[in-house]
Amino acid sequence: MLSIKNLYVSVDGQEILKGINLEVKPGEIHAIMGPNGSGKSTLANVLVGKEEYEVTAGEITYMGEDLLEKSPEDRAKEGIFLSFQYPVEIPGVPMVNFLKTAVNEHRKHNGEKELTAGEFLKLMREKMDMVDMHPQLTNRSVNEGFSGGEKKKNEIFQMALLEPKLAVLDETDSGLDIDALKTVAHGVNALKTKDNATIVVTHYQRLLDYIIPDFVHVLYDGKIVKSAGKELAFELEEKGYDWIKKEN
C-alpha cells in the first residue's frame, strides 16, 4: 500500500529525514516512536503533502502511484488521512458544512452520489456515537473553543466519516486524559479493517496499550534505527530513549 524508499526531507534548508525506508501493507498497524526532534512529525506531514516539507531525495509510492506528485486534497481523496497533532481552529467555518463538503468531495472522487443534508446528518450522528463526540460540538465552528481532548476526538470523528485507507495518527495521545485516550483508541480500533492500514506516531508507549501495533519502528536523527514487533515498545518504555541514543 505504502512504500517509502530512501526518503530525505528538509525544512527551511535543514535536513530532518535522512533516508527513511518503510513498507506498510493493508491491515497492518505500524507505530513510529522516537525521542523529540527525531523527525516523527515530519514523516507524518510529508505523507499528506505539507508544502514546507521539501523532499530532496527518495520516493514514496502509494497504491502503486507516485505520492509526491499529488496535491494534499488528492492524497486525501485517495484515502490518506492525517490526525493532526495540533488541529487548527477555523472561526466562521461551521463544522457541519466543513464535514459535509469533505465527505462529498470524497464521494465525488469515488464516483458516488453526493449526500443530501438529511443523509449527511444521519451519517454524522452514527459516527459521532463511535467516538463519543458531543453533538453540541458540531454546531460550532471547526475546532473553535474545543478543549485539547475534544480536538483529538474531532480528528478521529473526521477519520470515521472519511474512512481512509491509510490513517496517520500524529501524537494523537498527547494532551489526552486516560478516558479520552481510551475513547480515541476505541474509535481507531473500531475503524480497523483488513483493508486499511494505520501509522501511529507517538512519543509514549501508553497509546500502544490500546492500539496494538504489528510493527514498532524507532526513529532517531532522521533514520529508522530499529524495527521489531510490539515488544519493542515495552522495551523502550523500560529503558528510555537514551538506550537508542547510546547505540547510535
Least distance (Å) between residue 40 CB and other proteins: 18
- Verify binding: residue 139, other proteins, rule CB under 8 A: no
Residue 151 or 226 having the CB closest to other proteins: 151
Q: x/- contact string, 161-200, with other proteins (CB under 8 A)? A: -x--------------------------------------
Using CA atoms, how far apart are residues 189 and 193, in angstroms rounded to an integer?
9
- Verify binding: residue 60, other proteins, rule CB under 8 A: no
| 83, β-bridge pairs | 169
Whole-Å CA distances, 19 to 37, 108, 157, 242? 16, 36, 33, 22
- Verify binding: residue 72, other proteins, rule CB under 8 A: yes
Kindly give, in sequence order, each residue whose CB lies less than 8 Å from that of residue 97, ignoring residues fewer than 6 positions away. none
Exposure string of 229-245, with b = 16+ CB inside 10 Å and e = fewer, is eeebbeebeeeebeebe
- Verify binding: residue 54, other proteins, rule CB under 8 A: no
**Count of residues that interact with other proteins, criterion CB under 8 A:** 30
Q: In terms of DSSP bridges, do strands 215-220 and 53-62 run parallel, antiparallel, or are they unpaired?
A: unpaired
- Specify the stretch interacting with other proteins by CB under 8 A; choose among 34-42, 75-83, 196-204, 240-248: 75-83
Q: x/- contact string, 147-166, with other proteins (CB under 8 A)? A: -----------x---x----
Element (DSSP H or E) covering residue 122: helix 117-130
Give the closest residue to 157 by CA, choosing from 200, 198, 196, 124. Answer: 124
Contact footprint for other proteins (CB under 8 A): 48-51, 71-73, 75-77, 81-82, 84, 87-88, 90-93, 97-98, 101-102, 105-106, 109, 141-142, 158, 162
